[in-house]
């Protein structure tokens, strides 16, 4: 059982003339099988939380622990899908997908790995584009590739920064179902930043609502509806209203 703890985390960024306080006193605990959706206004520090957990930056104060050990630096056990798809431009779609397996000297011709790679390419609608390079892809295709490239590594902690933001509504719902299936099958711990409240509720076992900068946790909500969730149910609508009110967009 993996456990992620953020304990009174603060983060400030020093500029040339001033200091931006991005996060103020963030604490939460997350376990395997939990899906945490993070919502909040632009600039409230959502990406900063994920980058701290990824180990790309260090907190100004407070602690981040994975299984009781401080997080120091990056590690493939904490897989990040960035807000802007970060693909390798000199590799094809398929080579981007299998890059880390090749780095880790995993046999990419192994049947189980091959089958999963094929299934993911299919789900992401990238099968016919497997030999294309990133510059030949649309924004949505690039985002889908960035997502399945992290999926195939089965990280302990899955960090998703608006990974579905550039997708059309139908592909987006398919990818949401794919994430859901993956979490249910492998019991991953997932954290996802999204601006889409329906998406936050559809996927989340928990939703954290943040305040404007400096970002604090305004509410940490348990979402207990059974999966798969019905977007039009009255309970779903009720949760959506509650979150909109917390974001000051209530009626």
Q: What tokens were used for 33?
A: 């099988």
Give 23 or 97: the residue with its C-beta nearer to ligand ATP.
23
Give 47 or 95: the residue with its C-beta nearer to Mg ion.
47
Beta carbon of residue 215, minimum distance to Mg ion (angstroms, whole number) = 11
Residue 97 binding: pick among ligand ATP, Mg ion, none (C-beta 5-8 Å cut-off by kind): none
- By CB under 6 A, is residue 60 in contact with ligand ATP? no
Question: Which of the 8 DSSP states describes residue 155?
Answer: -
Beta carbon of residue 47, minimum distance to ligand ATP (angstroms, whole number) = 3
Stretch that binds ligand ATP, among 46-54, 61-69, 94-102, 180-188 (CB under 6 A): 46-54
Among 8, 13, 70, 77, binds ligand ATP (CB under 6 A): 13
Among 34, 35, 48, 206, binds ligand ATP (CB under 6 A): 48
Chain residues 214-243 in contact with ligand ATP, contact rule CB under 6 A: none
- By CB under 6 A, is residue 47 in contact with ligand ATP? yes
CA atoms of 217 and 210, how far apart (whole Å): 5
Among 4, 6, 22, 145, binds ligand ATP (CB under 6 A): 22
* DSSP character string of 19-63: EEEEEEEEEEEEETT-EEEEE--TTSSHHHHHHHHHTSS--SEEE
Among 43, 62, 125, 212, binds ligand ATP (CB under 6 A): 43
Chain residues 67-96 in contact with ligand ATP, contact rule CB under 6 A: 83
Give 152 or 159: the residue with its C-beta nearer to Mg ion.
159
Give 47 or 60: the residue with its C-beta nearer to ligand ATP.
47
Chain residues 164-203 in contact with ligand ATP, contact rule CB under 6 A: none
Query: How are beta strands 3-14 and 61-66 bridged, if at all?
Result: antiparallel
CB 187 within 8 A of CB 154: no
Beta carbon of residue 215, minimum distance to ligand ATP (angstroms, whole number) = 7
Displacement of CA 93 from its chain's centroid (Å): 21
CA atoms of 214 and 22, how far apart (whole Å): 5
Sheet arrangement for strand 19-31: 19-31, 3-14, 61-66, 69-70
- By CB under 6 A, is residue 42 in contact with ligand ATP? yes
Q: Tokens 């719902």, residue?
A: 173
**Residue 162 CB partners (closer than 8 Å, separation 6+):** 83, 193, 194, 195
**Interacting residue ranges for Mg ion, rule: CB under 5 A:** 47
Please count the CA atoms within 13 angstroms of the CA of 77 that sit on its side-chain side: 10
Binding site for ligand ATP (CB under 6 A): 13, 20, 22, 42-48, 83, 213
């Amino acid at each position: 059982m993996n456990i992620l703890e953020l304990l009174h985390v603060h983060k400030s960024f020093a500029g040339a003339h001033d200091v931006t306080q991005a996060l103020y006193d963030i604490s939460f605990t997350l376990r395997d099988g939990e899906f945490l959706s993070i919502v909040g206004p632009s600039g409230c520090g959502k990406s900063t939380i994920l980058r701290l957990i990824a180990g790309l930056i260090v907190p100004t104060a407070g602690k981040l622990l994975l299984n009781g050990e401080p997080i120091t630096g990056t590690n493939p056990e904490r897989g990040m899908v960035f807000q802007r798809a970060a693909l390798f431009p000199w590799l094809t779609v398929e080579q981007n997908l299998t890059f880390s397996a090749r780095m880790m000297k995993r046999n990419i011709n192994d049947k189980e790995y091959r089958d999963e790679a094929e299934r993911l390419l299919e789900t992401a609608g990238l099968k016919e584009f497997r030999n294309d390079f990133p510059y030949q892809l649309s924004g949505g295709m690039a985002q889908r590739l960035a997502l399945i490239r992290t999926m195939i590594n089965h990280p302990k902690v899955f960090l998703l920064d608006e990974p579905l933001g550039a997708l059309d509504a139908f592909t987006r719902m398919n990818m949401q179902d794919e994430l859901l299936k993956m979490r249910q099958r492998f019991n991953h711990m997932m954290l996802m930043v999204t601006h889409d409240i329906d998406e936050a509720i559809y996927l989340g076992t928990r939703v954290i609502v943040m305040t404007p900068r400096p970002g604090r946790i305004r509410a940490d909500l348990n979402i207990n509806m059974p999966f798969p969730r019905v977007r039009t149910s009255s309970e779903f609508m009720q949760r959506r209203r509650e979150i909109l009110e917390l974001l000051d967009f209530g009626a």
